[in-house]
Chain A
Amino acid sequence: MPPGLDQTLIVIPAFNEARCVGDVIREVYAALPGVTVLVVDDGSSDDTSGVSRREGARVATLPFNLGVGGAMRLGFLYALEHDFPVVVQIDADGQHDPAGVPALLAELDEADLVLGARFAGAGDYKIRGPRRWAMKALAVTLSRTAHTTLTDTTSGFRASGPRAVTLFARHYPAEYLGDTVESLVIASRGGLKIRQVPVAMRTRVAGVSSHRPFKAAFYLGRAAIALAVAFIHPSSAYRMSV
């Protein structure tokens, strides 16, 4: 049986997303009744915290920007402390459709970590150029490590089961790209089962993506470094006594 919505913590890392985060929270509550929403305000200079609180979410405000990885660490720690066995990450910019969450949760029966993948059939999300090659290379390498086919490894739309929450609360990487790429290596080396589920993604509601086109080549290099670093860490560091 998939975990109930009342046991699920939706974590929304938000950095200067006051314009969108309200809509996202409203949408989450409408699509997923009974769920708990934690917005981690990652040192925003706008009213992200205020808007989120008014929409009825629990809000943790970081005193300065830690990046998505740092914000998610706090989310996992909160889940552990308040006994939420399941954490689902949803981006604050509205590109993840909360209607896809039940599909992720259903797959948690089989796996410890479920990714919502953009290129697996549903939706019409497209990217081009070096960024595409980088994502392709990441997908191939990480699929081999995780012993399953992963097509969208940089997806932030993911559900973590109890074992993943315990592991991530301690080991979630805060480095750039670490939250997506390195976390998958940590999960598979920690013995977690990873699956992906096709989900439809929308284009961003407002604001610009943190990955601008001119940064594409730079992104490729950093992705390679992030991956290399993830692999040279001794795997004993991630072993769990669960």
Chain B
Amino acid sequence: MNLRSYIFGIAAALLVLAVVISLLRRRRLRERHAVWWLFAGTLALIAGVFPETLTHAASFLGIEVPVNLVFFTSIAVLFLVSLQHSSELTALETKTRILAEKVALMELRSENASDTTGDRTD
């Protein structure tokens, strides 16, 4: 590995962290969604600054080519985040449905109320 790719790895990890923290700061990202990205960014930064940790972790897990551990971890994180999003989406759909039901019932109630008051004024 040459110096250029070493710096590139660290810069990429720092960029990820900077973007996530900036979104968090401006309240464009809720903390429970940010945690996974912060986790991934920190891992990338550690592997970028100390490449030997990656080699050690790979040999500990019996992975011959260390870069495969990077691919595995990246895919695992992306998979988990997308699974979390699917589950959040389901929760949001449920909440939207409940809100729609409430609005429909309230509209019905207010129509009935205005009908009865209309009768009284006649």
B88 close to chain A: CB less than 8 A: no
Q: Are A232 and B25 in contact (CB under 8 A)?
A: yes
Q: Are B27 and A232 in contact (CB under 8 A)?
A: no
Question: Which listed residue, A64, A175, A237, touches B98 by the CB 8 Å rule?
Answer: A64
Q: Are B35 and A175 in contact (CB under 8 A)?
A: no
Q: How does the 8 Å CB contact mask read for B9-42 relative to A, with 1 for contact and 0 for none?
A: 0000000000001001111001110010000000
Interface SS, A side: loop
Q: Are A232 and B21 in contact (CB under 8 A)?
A: yes
Chain A: number of interface residues, binned into ranges: 10 to 19
Which chain A positions have C-beta within 8 A of B21? 232
Q: Are B24 and A232 in contact (CB under 8 A)?
A: yes
Residue of A nearest to B21 (CB): A232
Which chain B positions have C-beta within 8 A of A64? 94-95, 98
Q: Are A233 and B27 in contact (CB under 8 A)?
A: yes
CA distance in complex: A175, B30 (Å):
8
Residue of A nearest to B91 (CB): A64
Q: Which residues in window 173-205 of A have CB below 8 A to B?
A: 175-176
Which chain A positions have C-beta within 8 A of B109? none
Q: Are B102 and A63 in contact (CB under 8 A)?
A: yes
Q: Are A225 and B24 in contact (CB under 8 A)?
A: no
Q: Are B98 and A229 in contact (CB under 8 A)?
A: no
Which chain A positions have C-beta within 8 A of B98? 63-64
Q: Are B30 and A63 in contact (CB under 8 A)?
A: no
Residue of A nearest to B22 (CB): A232
Q: With A63-B98, A63-B102 in contact, is A226–B25 under 8 Å at CB?
A: no
Q: Are A175 and B31 in contact (CB under 8 A)?
A: yes
A234 close to chain B: CB less than 8 A: yes
Q: How does the 8 Å CB contact mask read for A62-106 relative to B, with 1 for contact and 0 for none?
A: 011000000000000000000000000000000000000000000
CA distance in complex: A16, B95 (Å):
19
CA distance in complex: A234, B25 (Å):
7
Q: Which residues in window 213-242 of A have CB below 8 A to B?
A: 225-226, 229, 232-234, 237
Residue of B nearest to A174 (CB): B30
B99 close to chain A: CB less than 8 A: yes
Q: Which residues in window 20-76 of B have CB below 8 A to A?
A: 21, 24-27, 30-32, 35
CA distance in complex: A212, B98 (Å):
30
Q: Which residues in window 70-104 of B have CB below 8 A to A?
A: 94-95, 98-99, 102
Which chain A positions have C-beta within 8 A of B95? 63-64
Show 20 A/B contacts (Cβ-Cβ < 8 Å), sorted by A. A63-B98, A63-B99, A63-B102, A64-B94, A64-B95, A64-B98, A175-B30, A175-B31, A175-B32, A176-B32, A225-B31, A225-B35, A229-B24, A229-B31, A232-B21, A232-B25, A233-B25, A234-B25, A234-B26, A237-B27
Which residues of B come within 8 Å of A, CB atoms?
21, 24-27, 30-32, 35, 94-95, 98-99, 102
Which residues of A come within 8 Å of B, CB atoms?
63-64, 175-176, 225-226, 229, 232-234, 237
With A63-B98, A229-B24, A232-B24 already in contact, 13 other A-B pairs whose C-beta atoms are closer than 8 Å: A63-B95, A63-B99, A175-B31, A175-B32, A176-B32, A225-B31, A225-B35, A226-B31, A229-B31, A232-B21, A233-B25, A234-B26, A237-B27
